[in-house]
Amino acid sequence: MEILYASLLGFFLLVIYFYYNHKSGGNANLRPPGKTGFPVIGETLEFLSAGWKGHPEKFIFDRIAKYSSHVFKTSLLGSQVIVFCGSNGHRFLFSNENKLVQAWSPSSIDKIFQHSTKKSTSQEALRLKQMFPNLLKPMALQGYLGLMDTVAHRHFVTDWEKKDTVVVFPLAHHYTFLLGCRLFVSVEDPKHVAILEKPFGVLAAGIVSIPIDFPGTAFNRAIKASNVIRKELLVIIKQRKIDLVEGKASPTQDILSRMLSTSDDNGKFMHEADVADQILGMIVAGHDSSSSVCTSIVKYLAELPDIYQVVYQGNTLLIFQQVEIAKSKAPGELLNWDDIQKMKYSWNVACEVMRLAPPNLGTFREAIADFAYDGFSIQKGSKLYWNPNSTHRNHEFFPEPQKFDPSRFEGSGPAPYTFLPFGEGPRICPGKEFVRLQILIFMHHLVKRFRWEKLIPDEKAFYIPLPSSEKGLPIRLFPHEA
């Protein structure tokens, strides 16, 4: 009997020990709960399925509930990863950048992008920011605003006006691609844009897919598409180098010229292949995220006429909205920086759209040291992942999370590390302000011209991996009376 009591006491003390370590985050030696599924495939099918069904957050919340933990392990895109959830998890990852964790991407994504993701360290990101200050700093973006407004005006005149119905998703993709081509590599000829645009669509569809490199798979097609784009970019790069030498191109005219004209601290310039990889990665990032947000904005404004009316006409508290800004312009006069600053409510609407339909599904990290978090032991070399839906759709941070409410972004806005469409901290998206301009200029040109209605009221929404609509969001346009 004494042996039995001693055994029960020992078991009881052991339970207390593990419970204490789990809660305190002290010298933990527990591994995060979870499963990794089948080899290579892992739980990728479940992850993608949740997105295809229109509820990408379900993959995260189901596992938080199952394991009673905001940290769990899984396997995505061919790699075993530990998922950090909630604002505390986000804060830990972002505040420990290059201390305990660093940027990382699955080998499947590296295979598509080659050098462009392998060099995506914080040092490389800092170098790129230093290389292109005139594009990335908000005040310097003023120099590009007129050009962006001009491109948007031409796009709406060509592809939207004098049409009864349009399909939004491909048009939004085309709009952001036009801007990327013009501002990144100064390509504006429609035939040249078309040559680049087709393989970009194939590449985007295969970024998040089962990483099986077999002919006919989305992953295989994405690899081939990236190679096609890379070859075309190399042709552009070689010609630009000649034009720079001959004085036919400016060293500051776009990102490409800046990359070719700027050396590192040792006086070395980037190799042509590395420039092509970086341009490829940046166009994909800016093009896909912005077009996804623009499409979702059209969807929500069609479903919420009261919100649309405030964006269009304002109210007693919001004097300057899109129609007022449009009326203040003389014929042919372009948008200026003051106009953009008046679009506060429009940007609040865009932010609420990005909360409900984030333009990214998180990014990956790698542990560069052993550490403990939330009572679990994380070993050096472990692959980590965060997902914005763990906070964006969490009632703890956003009451009534399914409700569309732009007022959440008034004043100081959401709590830190809860709203993350562009990341946070050292790894915050360097193109955030550029994306903001893309979106606001799109909203301005759309809303000042039309109101609209969805042709398929119950059209299914899904994530592939970014928000999309089953039929591309067809709408009927109703031009405003002159």
Query: Measured between alpha carbons, how far is residue 182 from residues 151, 193, 256, 416 in Å?
Result: 8, 9, 11, 34
88, 109 Cβ separation under 8 angstroms: no
DSSP 38: B
Residue 250 in tokens? 């400016």
Residue 377's DSSP bridge partners are 372
Residue 331 in tokens? 């014929």
Per DSSP, the chain holds a count of helices (H) and strands (E) of 20, 12
Residue 351 among known ligand-binding residues: no
Amino acid identity for residue 62 in this structure: D
Three-class SS string for 403-435?
CCCHHHHCCCCCCCCCCCCCCCHHHCCCCHHHH
CA dist 352 and 357 (Å) reads 8
CA dist 270 and 268 (Å) reads 7
377, 398 Cβ separation under 8 angstroms: no
CA dist 211 and 227 (Å) reads 17
CA dist 138 and 144 (Å) reads 10
CA dist 167 and 193 (Å) reads 20
5, 353 Cβ separation under 8 angstroms: no
Residues tagged in the binding site annotation for heme: 429
Q: Which residues are annotated as a binding site?
A: 429
